[in-house]
A and B are shown apart, each in its own frame.
Chain A
């Protein structure tokens, strides 16, 4: 039983690797589907923004309010903006954005492609001379890879604003003082690696959503399973990639 599960895990990992390989092969074939790409940018990027913005704002606010008592205890209250900005930019904003997107976008892609698969729409594309892999998968994976970093950068800014409000609830921290401290603190090593990793988050979310949707079977029940497992696997991958990213920046001495 356990060995069977392990076997399934290995098989699926292999399948996902092959799917990713196919993505890169099809990516460079001629005729990129620009219209579909822009349509997806709208759906994936623009429509996810409100959710990401609200979450980022609340996270910034809450983290700041929660951190204050500890700092006060050490008499280091003036360090609040520095501490909060580092944790928001390095970790919280990118990872929260990626998780929200894994939930919203990953499940959306999984369910959309899954239902297209079970209602034979993907077969219909195939017979009408449009490569469904290029049309559906390549466009979506590129969109998530490009859009999630943008959403993460916006989330960075919004969460910092939330942090500013949080810092202002008790003592008055002036606008200038807050941002001066934030920009003094944040270094290249804080910002750039955290943006780079979001490209990988985006890629993983797109690939897993598409893989799950594209390989759906068993009718409508399968669509639910596809959407669900797309979220589970891509969220897990976000954490694994985050762990790797920390290790790599550490080795490169950027910490």
Chain B
């Protein structure tokens, strides 16, 4: 397939051992609603790919399949060498330690304070961690998003943008190897959006993480994308850099770059 080839061409420099996510012929439907059809995708180490597509095109479904929250109808999803649909619960859990997930809805636990929210992902390590360590990780994560003062607040006391940043801090706290961001900047003002986008780039550089970013905030896309994959009609329509796609005459593409 054309798009498949172009992905490989773009990543000539990387060899296959650097391949962290590889999706082949992914299919997913809900009843009659065929959301993903023959979707193919590759993510190499240190890369940051933006998935672009209109609302309801199946972007959230795609990332939920990658993290194992949704079970695909067909196809393979290799994450760090393991095929997600084949894994049992414990194996899946071991992969999930290395994969961070930012929910589109933030999914902050609203019965817990910000501190407890951030400590929650650390629970899997509690046996090995002491209080000091936990505390310093929490403070570091909050520092990253510039919200140290909210530590004892409840999520309901925060603004929408602050909630998004706390959710981001919670995703980053375990320093995952792969991070899936589902619309990290949607609904934020341009300044905060730029800050968050820069943070995503910083994290990627600092910890050499690989990321899949879902976004239709072009400001954010421009900052974070090494490459853009367009999701149209349930499949990977085209894959290229921001600069190239910007020049495109194809209406399906250019309508995003206005």
Contacts and interface: CB of A to CB of B under 8 A. Distances in A.
Interface in B33-76: 64, 67-69
A62 to B, nearest CB: 37
B136 to A, nearest CB: 19
Contact of A128 (B105, B111, B120): B120
B245 interface: no
Given A128-B124, A129-B123, A129-B124, A121 B110 contact: yes
A127 B101 contact: yes
Contacts of A128: 96, 120-121, 123-124
Contacts of A125: 109, 120
Contacts of A249: none
A112 B109 CA distance: 11
B157 interface: no
B103 A123 contact: yes
A127 B124 contact: no
B69 A130 contact: no
A120 B103 contact: yes
Contact of A121 (B67, B109, B124): B109
A119 B124 CA distance: 22
A124 interface: yes
A24 B123 CA distance: 23
Prevailing SS type, chain A contact patch? helix
A119 B107 CA distance: 6
B202 interface: no
A121 B108 contact: yes
Given A129-B93, A129-B96, A129-B97, A124 B124 contact: no
A221 interface: no
Contacts of A116: 109
A126 interface: yes
B107 A123 contact: yes
A123 B110 contact: no
B97 A121 contact: no
Contact of A124 (B93, B109, B111): B109
Nearest to A33: B123
A123 B111 CA distance: 15
A129 B121 contact: yes
Contacts of A129: 93, 96-97, 121, 123-124
A120 B105 contact: yes
B124 A130 contact: yes
Contacts of B107: 119-121, 123-124
A37 to B, nearest CB: 15
Interface string A92-133: 000000000000000000001001100111011111111000
Contacts of B120: 125, 128, 130
B67 A127 contact: yes
Contacts of B124: 128-130
Contacts of B111: 112
Nearest to B111: A112
B107 to A, nearest CB: 4
Contacts of A124: 101, 103, 107, 109
Given A112-B111, A121-B107, A129-B97, 15 more contacts: A115-B110, A119-B107, A120-B105, A121-B110, A123-B107, A124-B103, A124-B107, A126-B69, A127-B69, A127-B101, A128-B121, A128-B123, A129-B124, A130-B123, A130-B124
Interface of A: 112, 115-116, 119-121, 123-130
28 contacts: A116-B109, A119-B105, A120-B103, A120-B107, A121-B107, A121-B108, A123-B69, A123-B107, A124-B109, A125-B109, A126-B69, A127-B67, A127-B68, A127-B69, A127-B96, A127-B101, A128-B96, A128-B120, A128-B121, A128-B124, A129-B96, A129-B97, A129-B121, A129-B123, A129-B124, A130-B120, A130-B123, A130-B124
